Amino acid sequence: MPPTHHPTISDKRRNFQQLHAAGCFAIPNPWDVGSARYLQSLGFQALASTSAGFAWSKGLADNGVSRDAVLGHLRELVEAVDVPINADFEGGFAADPQGVADNVRLAIETGVAGLSIEDSTGDAAAPLYSLDAAVARLRAARKAIDAAGGDVVLVGRAECLLVGQGDIDEVVARLKAYAQAGADCLYAPGLRSREQIVAVVRAVAPKPVNLLVGWASDMTLADIAALGVRRVSVGGALAGAAWHAFMDAARQIATEGRFDAFVASPGRELNPLFRGGDVASRRG
């Protein structure tokens, strides 16, 4: 068997930029190496980390993982698959712009092809950074990416709807400001209606928009593409689905002494896929 060519970090980043140029693609969110390799085997062209899914795998609450642990996780994902990885980099693990820039530089060194910076503070009394502060943080991230070669996609996230601050007009205003500050892709988790989605897409055009589908939705990928969305992620929803199945089966044992919640073992499919730790060599 001839040796398999694995893409370089530059290849992955170039491929990721091309995905954002036209069309619409799904970018599902693995929470560990196994889930990342399985998603790659299904043919997804890019993957994104999930802060919630990774935190739960470590027995921590979402946003409860340290910066260094997240950096290690990102490096592990990048090395595990041949497709680009977009980093859920939370709030940049710093409040001040310089701290954000320093941490973005560290994230770039893991080999990720993209990363997002949120405008939420984690402070219930003041859950969002002011617009000026949020823009300064995005500009700092942009400057760090440009200094490293400029080939990492910067995603600007407006968290208004998730933290209950502001309406769709506030979301649009923030995303437009983030686009002007240098974000390559815009993202507002919590968009629900088609009208909201279209409003965001039109506001930041021609820059691409990421839509989160983290709940049961009657919209298909084709429906979402027709609204002008460029990429669709699922956040912690896949990790949540896995946890739900595990919790239901475990509770049944604990409360009823029964085992019929188990389904057939996936080992017949997963063991050949994971053997040797190399999915890429078996994709073609």
Where do the structural domains in the chain lie, given as residue ranges?
9-237
54-74 pLDDT, tens digit per residue, is 999 999 999 999 999 999 999
pLDDT reported for residue 5 = 82
* Model confidence at 205: pLDDT above 90: yes
Pick the closest to residue 128 from 73, 190, 180 (CA basis): 190
219-274 pLDDT, tens digit per residue, is 999 999 999 999 999 999 999 999 999 999 999 999 999 999 998 889 999 999 99
Q: Give the confidence band of 280 by pLDDT, cuts at 50, 70, 90.
A: very low
Retrieve residue 35's tokens. 């889930």
The mean pLDDT of 109-136, rounded to a whole number, is 97
pTM of the model: 0.95
* CA 147 vs CA 14, 102, 104, 142, 186: distances in Å: 17, 11, 11, 9, 21
Whole-angstrom Cα distance, residue 255 to residue 46? 40
Whole-angstrom Cα distance, residue 231 to residue 242? 23
Considering the segment(s) 9-237 as one domain, its CATH architecture is: Alpha-Beta Barrel (3.20)
* Model confidence at 278: pLDDT above 60: no
pLDDT reported for residue 76 = 98
| Cα 217–chain centre separation | 19
Phi, psi for 11 (deg, rounded to 5): -60, -45
Those residues with Cβ within 8 angstroms of residue 226's Cβ, 6 or more apart along the chain or in another chain: none
Q: Give the confidence band of 215 by pLDDT, cuts at 50, 70, 90.
A: confident
The mean pLDDT of 9-18, rounded to a whole number, is 98
The mean pLDDT of 124-148, rounded to a whole number, is 97
